[in-house]
Amino acid sequence: MGASEAKKKVPIKEGLFKVHTDEEEGYLIGSRCKKCGEYFHPKRVVCANCYSEDMDEVALSTRGKIFTYTIARTSYPGTPLTAPFITAHVELPEKVSVISLITDIDLDKVKVGMEVELYFWKAREDGEGNEVMAYAFRPVSN
Amino acid sequence: MAEKEVVILGVGITRFGRVTGRNPVEMAREAGLMALKDAGVDFRDIQAGFCAHVNQPMGTGADCFAELGMTGIPVTNVEVACASQSRGVMLAGDMIAAGIYDMALVIGVEKMPRGMVPLGGELSDMSYAFLMGLMPFPGTYAMTAQRHMHTYGTKPEHFGRAAEKSHRNSRLNPNATYQQVYTLEEIMSSRMIADPITMYMCSANADGATATVVCSREKAKKYTTRPVLLVGWAGGTPIYEKGEPMLAEGPTELLGKKVYEMSGLGPKDVDVAQVHDAFSPGEIFAIEELGFCPKGEGGPFVWGGNTEINGKIPVNTDGGLVSCGHPIGATGGRMIAELSWQLRGMAGPRQVSGNPKVALLHNQGLGGTNVMIFKM
Ligand SMILES: [Zn+2]
């Protein structure tokens, strides 16, 4: 044990996303209503469209488009982000809007409609040395 | 049901801002006494109390009302974030219309925490966006502004112009936090907070209290021959729209339609308005949703001076949230006070000319939205 015990990747908040592993790609966790087909993120118990409680947990698309954004010029104390940074509503093909950090682009280059893809990054380490993971989107590379 | 007509009989307000040594109970007493005197009523005539606040401890309502008198009336605390005080007035209006009471007093009071407003709650209960610090407070306004710019070609200078007008109006209002005129250039070049919102487009944190005496029309006859009637009111929370990000804090457009229908009036009848501009883009979003100008034309409409005190539809004649400052739970009462004074011809150097007859209020926040319409 000891040094051989692998550091785990743990999400900063449970139930929102599945961090990638060697075997599997990561994704944002959503709900899909079995009755009307509406998608949600974060998960919902009651469908906001038709009020059904018959919901499936699903993996959401990992690519989307910036619906709108702003550049935060101040950071909240005790949060992992340091201003300035881009924060956006990303619209996924399932017609779900996700609030996310946008990285890997100059602040003055970000635009509404830009195609972006999901990835995960280490926000901090917890007391046991686990990597506490958050998600972000960045411009599609290809 | 034949409903009773509702009157705004008296209004009161303290100076807004960071005035050292004032505590919430003293501010509430000052605003409450002013409203009672404005109405010409005795505290013993008040049958019910509502106390709007967001950051004060439990029991604040009873403590504040005890400063004015201890007649045993029910006092209920109301919390709808930035829209708390006007919701209190709406609840009083509902009860008076239903014949439950003849007269109620609504106090809004706030002593804001110093420094960055704490978000509250356990970390595990916080949304991802708050946990990560992804939504700085102007975040929603800034993102709505960016989308507005993308969709309609609105310019940051349009938002700046709304702020410039507010700061100019507040120079005519001794109760406002800001007492200084800023040029468009100074506003645009002030510190960027969340693009396109700069520091002088943001409302200042402020302490303050407001009060409103709400009364049935029958009862009001004893006190005034020129009552300000509350002729339409509606409150709400956001509506789920398929595939739309939840940017709005409430269904302003729908609530506008409701109050226009309830009052038999339309946007063209409105002579003066107070809309929620926690950040100055808010003025542009609200005037479009309330029908004062077509969708997407709010920027050029404000730029062209249409919302000035002498414009086509004067908006935020007292400086709005941007310049008056924002004691969260009290803000709605400031809007009601200004509109009451405008309708009664008592707004002094800010008075809209031509004897305004119809006034509209739009007050919103994280807790929901209120729209009200008043008639002289
Ligand atoms: Zn459904």
pTM: 0.95
Q: Where residue B71 falls among pLDDT bands split at 50, 70, 90?
A: very high
What are the residue ranges spanned by the domains of chain B?
6-114+206-228, 136-201+231-375
Asked if A49 and B240 come within 8 Å (Cβ–Cβ), the reply is: yes
What is the pLDDT at residue B1?
Answer: 46
Q: Of residues B51, B53, B64, B82, which has the active-site annotation? A: B82
Q: Which tens digits make up the pLDDT trace of A90-102? A: 999 999 999 999 9
| DSSP 8-state symbol, B222 | T
Say yes or no: ipTM exceeds 0.85: yes
Considering only CA atoms, which of B210, B208, B14, B31 is closest in space to residue B112? Answer: B208
What is the pLDDT at residue B261?
Answer: 97
Q: What element of type H or E holds B338? A: helix B331-344
Reply yes or no on whether the pLDDT at A46 is more than 90.
yes
Residues of chain A in contact with residue B135, where contact means CB-CB under 8 angstroms, are: 87, 99
Asked if A95 and B242 come within 8 Å (Cβ–Cβ), the reply is: yes
CB B230 within 8 A of CB B372: yes
What are the residues facing B103 on neighbouring strands?
B215
Q: What element of type H or E holds B340? A: helix B331-344
Superfamily of domain B6-114+206-228: Thiolase/Chalcone synthase (3.40.47.10)
pLDDT averaged over chain B?
A: 94
Which of A79-88, B218-227, B228-237 is predicted with the least confidence, judged by mean pLDDT? A79-88
What's domain B136-201+231-375's architecture? 3-Layer(aba) Sandwich (3.40)
Q: What element of type H or E holds A98? A: strand A97-102
B276 has catalytic annotation: no
Question: What is the B244 CA–ligand 1 centroid distance (Å)?
Answer: 15
Q: Which tens digits make up the pLDDT trace of B118-176? A: 555 555 567 888 888 888 778 889 999 999 999 999 999 999 999 999 999 999 999 99
Asked if A16 and B128 come within 8 Å (Cβ–Cβ), the reply is: yes
Q: Which tens digits make up the pLDDT trace of B73-120? A: 999 999 999 999 999 999 999 999 999 999 999 999 999 876 655 555
Mean per-residue pLDDT, B312-333: 97
What is the chain A residue with the closest CA to B242?
A49
Reply yes or no on whether the pLDDT at A59 is more than 60.
yes
- Give the minimum alpha-carbon distance from A110 to chain B in angstroms, rounded to a whole number: 11
Which of A17-31, B255-269, B270-284, B350-364 is predicted with the least confidence, judged by mean pLDDT? A17-31
**From CA B373, how far away is CA B320, in angstroms rounded?**
17
Residue B242 CB coordination number (10 Å): 10
Going along chain A from its start, the domains and CATH numbers come out as: 15-60 (no CATH), 61-142 (2.40.50.840)
How distant is the alpha carbon of residue B121 from its chain centre? 26
B326 has catalytic annotation: yes
Mean per-residue pLDDT, B170-199: 96
Q: Where residue B241 falls among pLDDT bands split at 50, 70, 90?
A: confident
Give the distance between the most distant pair of CA atoms in chain B.
57
